[in-house]
Structure 1
Amino acid sequence: MSLLVAEHLSRKLRHGGMLLDDITLTVEPGEILTIEGENGAGKTVLLKALLGLTDSTGTLTISGHPFRLGQAYPLKAGILIENPSLINDFTAFQNLKLLATLIPGVTDEEINTVLRELSLDPRSKTRAKDFSLGMREKLGIAQALMGHQPLIVLDEPTNALDEDSKTTLAALVRTYRNLGSTFVIASHDREFIEAVTTRRVKMKEGHLIEQQVA
């Protein structure tokens, strides 16, 4: 059974343009689906539509269950879309500890582990407001990875990361996939895409223009 099935997803702008234009796409369990395209191609809007976070026409089926906007999302997901949602007066550990109250079973040790995996010190007293852009991005990625959710959705996760951090992230994506997570990743970073993808699609002006197996 497919994890996600989107059929004929469309979203119009008020003036008549299309943010999404008749997109049909499946996400299979255990794959790393990458969505490639330049800024403005519609990648972020598509991620939000797949997660039920924005209104669109068409149909969305999640783990065999038809889904409509306003319903409870029937699949646990780790999400990083656009800028990370951080509490600026909290440390990295405190930010993840607060999020962990919404994810049953996450321990302090798991929080420490995911921070270390992304080269963030769980003992640091530095508050998020004093983080560099790269550190903020890493903490947002840690939020999405925490709990090893069945679905992990990342939007331009290599923004603000240096080359070593990109390599680390690629290895983590492959590791978490081996632990059972399915990934949907939007990116215009071709080197990162080629390092992680099992299937890639390309978008332009709200359309899917190409689909291929890695």
Structure 2
Amino acid sequence: MCMNNSMCGCSSNNNECENLGPFLAVDAACITPTKPVSTGSIIPFASGTPTALANIESGLFTAVSIVGFGTNFPNIGLSGNNIDLSLVNNLFTEAFVVPRPGNVTSIAASFTVTLAITAALPGTTVVNARIYLAPAGSTVFSPTNVTVNLNPALSGVINVGTVVNNTSNNFAPLPVVAGDKLLMVFSITTTGTVADLVSAVTGTASAGITID
């Protein structure tokens, strides 16, 4: 009788099988490995309408944009290095609440210029995307190491439709716990500018992070 398969080369309807062996083992090196299935969650962000980023003095940014899920709030001032929503009476937020413990392991971002810069930008301007975090019960968001600079850097005359983008997992995983609040923040930094000369860029912003 067939033990391995009811029709394994059987020559009759009685399932009498003559092909009982021998059986050949497959070399493990010949087996294509199964790709691991990612268990992380992808969190998307998009500004919806264009948002403005501004900077004054070399290397310092003063007006950032908070990007959420189809909306954004531009021209947000920093309190030191932090974003304190209580300073605007908590009238808005683009933060989302983490529902379970995990680690933020990657970030990707893109920025598309929607307002041409016909007067050459002073120095070199780099668009940056970074996650800010506030613990449960707090309105003060602090910058984290989950960040990426977008390429290429902007300089000179900038045309509408210019796109800068990048991805990164080149940082230690950021632990998060249930109740933490996360913000996606876009900013620009400049180098080689003349003091007190403002650099500004306007465009649509989008990003994504992975939480494992």
**TM-score bucket of the superposed structures, by smaller chain:** under 0.3
Answer with 1 or 2: which has the greater Rg. Answer: 2
Relative to the length of structure 1, the TM-score reads 0.24
Give 1 or 2: higher helix fraction: 1
Give 1 or 2: higher strand fraction: 2
Relative to the length of structure 2, the TM-score reads 0.24
